[in-house]
Amino acid sequence: MSKFRLKNLPLSRQILILFMILTMVLGVGLGIGYPLAVKQYLVSNTYSLLEEEFYTLSEHISFNEHNELLTVPATAPYFLQLLLSRYEYSFDMIVYAENGRELGSRSSERIPPTDIRDLYVQAASHPSEQLQHGSLERENVNYLFVSKKMDYHGFPYYMVLFSKEQELNQINSILTRQFLYIFSLLLLASWLLAVWFSGYLSKPLRSLDELCKKIARRQFDIPLTMDRGDEIGQLARSFDTMKNQLKEYDESQRHFVQNISHELKTPIMAIQGYTQGLIEGVFQGPQAEKGLSIIMEESKRLEKVVGQLLYLTKIESVSQMMQMGRVDLSEMMHLLKQRLSVLSPHVEWDLNLPPAMILEGDGEQLSTAFVNIMENQLRYAKSRLSITGRQVGRNMVVSIANDGPPIEEALLPHLFQRFRKGKSGKHGLGLAIARAVFEAHKGTIVARNDPDGPCFTMTIPVEFKG
């Protein structure tokens, strides 16, 4: 039998179980502590009430000429009578002569003679003239009492005012039952709320679980709408972003397979066709030489595509192997101008760069990325190519723009994906390689259509934090 683990249960059940355990522990603690606290409170207040009643009754104590106690009125405060009207609770009194003889009493029921005698012994054992608090324990009943030696016109006597603790226990029991009844109702209501709350929290998580399963089945067109501003809503928005990125990646992979099949199939078919013609003797003399030239040209084309694919894979997967060093982008831009300006002599180069743009990076890879961007810009430029550079905070920002036609709006969001190219594009790998290089340097590249023409902006951190 597998070991039970709370974390293996559904989240709603975990919340419910933990809440029930918490409330049960709280209930047990209150069930034990509440009666004790109430009992202590009742005992403490009973002594206070006994003391107050004692001083009130002492003002009404009087004796006849035979030293017999006259009738004592009931003087309990009205609020106390109301408070104790539902309970069998009373203050009893016994007055003793100095020799222990009972002079009179006021009692709600008969007190055993031994208890009367022991109450006197307790009172007489306290010689101080201050009010004494004490208790007398018996098998069936305990007494809480206050006592003091008094004097009535030269006649000494002891006055004892007491209450039975069992009456306090009765009050305590009634109060505890009422408290537990109310607490049980509150506990039941809280459990019902906990059941609703656990379902309220787990429902959106179940929706996210269903969405993940659909994404795993490549169902990316299912909308995720969750109008929440808490962490669950943030998680849902993150899932939606992930879904859109996976959808974009999936489409990119499909385009990649389709385009690479075309890019590789064309030179392979040309090589196979001319090779077969040469083997069968179809091409003779000048035609044979032309066929061999085409075979060489297509093989170089094939080699270039494969090389770019391998280079792109290396950049994306082994960026930690870059050879980092000091790179001056201003110097690099001037060198690339000298190298590439011969490709399009009619294009005028406009460089607006500071004297130095020093950063930490792989100079060879950055040069390759900028070459790909510039070749792309030169291919579409009409008469001008402008390069501007500046340092913004801890980043170097380089913009390369031309005055050619704008990039197709439908192509713009997918421009840096593999084999995505315009009408005059070559293999569709140059911009993908450029993006991989800049991202490997923890930078970014974006393309936009300005009023004067397309513009590529690259942002590269000055310090590489790989």
Q: How does DSSP assign 297-350, residue by residue?
A: HHHHHHHHHHHHHHHHHHHHH-GGG---EEEEHHHHHHHHHHHHTTT-TTSEEE
372: domain CATH number is: 3.30.565.10
Average pLDDT over residues 19-29: 78
- Distance in angstroms (rounded) separating the CA atoms of residues 152 and 97: 11
On whether both 149 and 238 belong to a single domain, the answer is no
Q: Are residues 164 and 22 in the same domain?
A: yes
Same domain, 268 and 338: no
Are 168 and 267 in the same domain? no
Q: HSE-up of 91 (CA within 13 Å, CB side)?
A: 28
Final residue of a structural domain among 152, 172, 192 = 172
Residues 297 and 379 in one domain: no
**Residue 82 predicted with pLDDT over 60:** no
Alpha-carbon distance of 108 to 20, in angstroms, equals: 47
Instruction: Note whether residue 189 is domain-resident.
Output: no
Of 332, 313, 348, 306, nearest to 398 by C-alpha is: 332
Mean pLDDT of 146-163: 85
Angle formed by the axes of helices 231-279 and 286-317, nearest 10°: 160
More confident residue, 390 or 15: 390
Examine residue 219 and state whether it is found in any structural domain, yes or no: no
Is residue 383 situated within a structural domain? yes
pLDDT digits (tens, 9 = 90+) for 210-240: 878 877 777 777 777 667 766 777 777 787 7
pLDDT value at 84 more than 50: no
Task: Over range 397-420, report the average pLDDT.
Answer: 81
Contacts of 370 (CB under 8 A, 6+ apart): 332, 333, 336, 398, 400, 434, 458
3-class DSSP state for residue 113? Answer: helix
Beta strands 384-392 and 348-352 are parallel
Q: Write down the mean pLDDT value for the chain.
A: 78
Q: Assess whether 16 and 157 both reside in one domain.
A: yes
How far CA 382 is from CA of 65, 411, 424, in Å, comes to 137, 20, 14
| Number of domains, the chain | 3
β-strands 132-137, 102-106 pairing: unpaired
**Among 232-236, 328-332, 365-369, whose mean pLDDT is lowest?**
232-236
Is residue 221 in some structural domain? no
Per-residue pLDDT, 389: 93
End position of a domain, from candidates 154, 172, 190: 172
- In this predicted structure, the answer to whether residue 398 has a pLDDT above a threshold of 90 is yes
Distance CA 90, CA 72 (A): 15
Q: Are 153 and 171 in contact (CB under 8 A)?
A: no
* Distance (Å, whole) CA 130 – CA 152: 16
Residue keyed to tokens 């899932």: 239
On whether residue 375 sits in a domain, the answer given is yes
**Of 72, 58, 143, nearest in space to 105 by CA:** 72
Q: Is the dihedral of CA 122, 125, 126, 128 positive or negative?
A: positive
- Do 241 and 338 lie in one domain? The reply is no
Give yes or no: residues 304 and 330 share one domain: no
Whether 194 is in a domain gets the answer no
Radius of gyration of the chain (CA): 49
Question: What is the pLDDT confidence band of residue 439, given thresholds at 50, 70 and 90?
Answer: confident
Phi, psi of 458 (to 5 degrees): -115, 135
- CATH code for position 247: 1.10.287.130
In a domain, 103, yes or no: yes
State whether 134 and 265 are in the same domain.
no
Q: Tell me, what CATH number does 51's domain have?
A: 3.30.450
Element containing residue 253 per DSSP (H, E): helix 231-279
Q: Residue 322: name the closest of 358, 367, 356, 357 by CA.
A: 367
Of all helices (H) and strands (E), which one includes residue 148?
strand 142-152
Domain boundary at 172, 192, 219, which? 172
Task: Name the pTM for this structure.
Answer: 0.45
Shared-domain flag, residues 161 and 15: yes
**pLDDT grade, residue 399 (50/70/90)?**
very high
Q: Could you list the residue range(s) of the whole structural domain that residue 361 is in?
A: 323-461
- Residue 392 is encoded by which pair of tokens? 């913004």
| Residues 397, 330: Cα–Cα separation, whole Å | 11
Q: Is residue 308 part of a domain?
A: yes
**Residues 294 and 260 placed together within one structural domain of the fold:** yes
In the chain, helix, strand, coil percent, each to 5? 55, 20, 30
- Identify whether residues 57 and 113 lie together within a single domain: yes
**Long-range contacts for 218-222 (Cβ within 8 Å, ≥24 apart)?**
218/250, 220/244, 220/246, 220/247, 220/250, 221/247
Nearest to 102, CA basis, from 115, 90, 89: 115
Distance, in Å, from the CA atom of 365 to the CA atom of 319, rounded to the nearest integer, reads: 10
